[in-house]
Structure 1
Amino acid sequence: MRSKLILATAIVALSACSGAPSVTNEAALPNSGVNAPEMNDAMAPPTAEAATDAASYLGKAGAGDLFEIESSKAVLAKTGNADVKMFANMMVDNHSQSTKKLKAAAKADGVSVSPPKLDPAQQAMLDEIKSAQADRVDAIYKAHQTQAHQAALALQQAYAAEGDKPALKKAAAEIVPVIQKHIETLGKLPG
């Protein structure tokens, strides 16, 4: 059953990343309680258009960092896997640093930063990690981290290329290789 959920999640994630048409409601993920279109929407990377103004970018980047930090803290409370623990600790540290970097850049650009808030899809993923059984939490965490990092990479790349504030564009460009390293490390995690 676990492998079916992971396979279904991977298929939906790939279709979201490739721009393939979304799946119909009849294609709900088995025993997940989530319909495929909701998952598809949750995993769709932000569009470049949505990420080019500072306020939208900061809101999405802040929510992304908050998800990475909170989901990593949640998995640390459950996992027994040393590699997952190491990755989760790295997420807490690196995403705390990127939040500080973006706040400083926003200040330099004269842009106010609102406190971050998870969107409904991020909250659902966090809740799933928190409620997961210990024997399934690593795979769920890895799947959600992969989705979140793909979205974060698209967001940072789009703002670095087309953003409207110079210090924030520079910060986004500096964050891109960090996210790419996270994605590479995720590929090596079990689950």
Structure 2
Amino acid sequence: MKRFIYVCSIGLATLAFQGCSSGPKDAKESADSLNKTKDTTSNEMATGGIAVDESDSKFATEAATGGMAEVALGKLALEKSTNAQVKEFATMMVNDHGKANAELMTLAQTKNITLPADVDDEHKKKMADLTKLTGANFDKEYVSAMVDGHEKTLKLMQDEAKDGKDAELKTFASNTAPVVQTHLTMIKKIHDSMK
């Protein structure tokens, strides 16, 4: 019964937040809003509380969104790319980010953090744009997107590793940052070889 009340409270809180917003939210924004309602300082009894600071939960949702996007874009590249280096990199994205996503999901569950179920609108648009391209045009745009994405993800991981408040999320970020750095170095080499 307690669990039923908890689930209903979360559902009502989500509807209330969605009703108050001026427009539809993407998956990341919805997860961030839901995590905000779990704030232990105001309504732990109704929501079950969240075991981390708001900045740590935002890190988790952003990292999850980026990780899901890397996997989805990697799968797209495996289908559409004609470049062996790009395909090799895409395989690494699916494997490495898939593993990191699973680790983050497990960690988030222990902290009662809601992660987005899908990528945000920005990544959906990028995927839609890439889907329209073929051959060398696809490869060039995919590689460019991977450089940009990995630069942002590396900064995200480094910032959390340095400034995060939750020890386990900090450790996750510290362990993930070198992998992201390796990806960034590799994709920059591929990018430079395509000029």
Fold conserved between structures, TM > 0.5: yes
Give the gaps of 5 or more residues in structure 1. 1-50
> Partner of 1:122: helix, strand, or coil?
helix
Mapped to 1, the partners of 2:151 and 2:132 lie a distance apart of: 23
Pick 1 or 2: higher relative contact order, CA cutoff 8 A, min separation 6.
1
Q: Mark the structure with the bigger radius of gyration.
A: 2
How far apart are the structure 2 equivalents of 1:160 and 1:116? 24
**How far apart are residue 52 of structure 1 and its match?**
7.0
Runs of 4+ that moved beyond 6 A: none
Instruction: Determine the structure 2 residue equivalent to 1:125.
Output: 126
Residues 2-55 of structure 1 deviation map (CA, whole Å, 9 limit, x = unaligned): xxxxxxxxxxxxxxxxxxxxxxxxxxxxxxxxxxxxxxxxxxxxxxxxx97222
Aligned residues: CA RMSD: 1.7
Normalising by structure 1, we get a TM-score of 0.68
Does 2:168 match 1:162? no
Partner of 1:77, secondary structure, is helix
1:126-183 per-residue CA deviation (whole Å, 9 max, x = no partner) reads 1111111223111000000111101101111111111121101100000000000000
CA contact 1:59–1:116 (8 Å) conserved in 2? no
Alignment of 1:2-151 (within 5 A): 53-108=55-110, 110-151=111-152
TM-score by length of 2: 0.67
- Could you tell me the percent identity over the aligned residues? 26
> What 5-or-longer segments of structure 2 have no aligned partner?
1-52
Aligned-pair CA distance for 1:107: 3.9
**Paired AA for residue 75 in structure 1:** A
Structure 1 pair 171/62, CA: closer, same or farther in 2 (3 Å)?
A: same
Query: What is the rounded CA distance, in whole Å, between the counterparts of 1:114 and 1:107 in structure 2?
Result: 9
The equivalent of 2:18 in structure 1 is none
The residue that corresponds to 2:175 in the other structure is 174
- Superposed displacement of residue 90, structure 1: 0.3
C-alpha change, 1:52 and 1:164, in structure 2 (3 Å) is farther
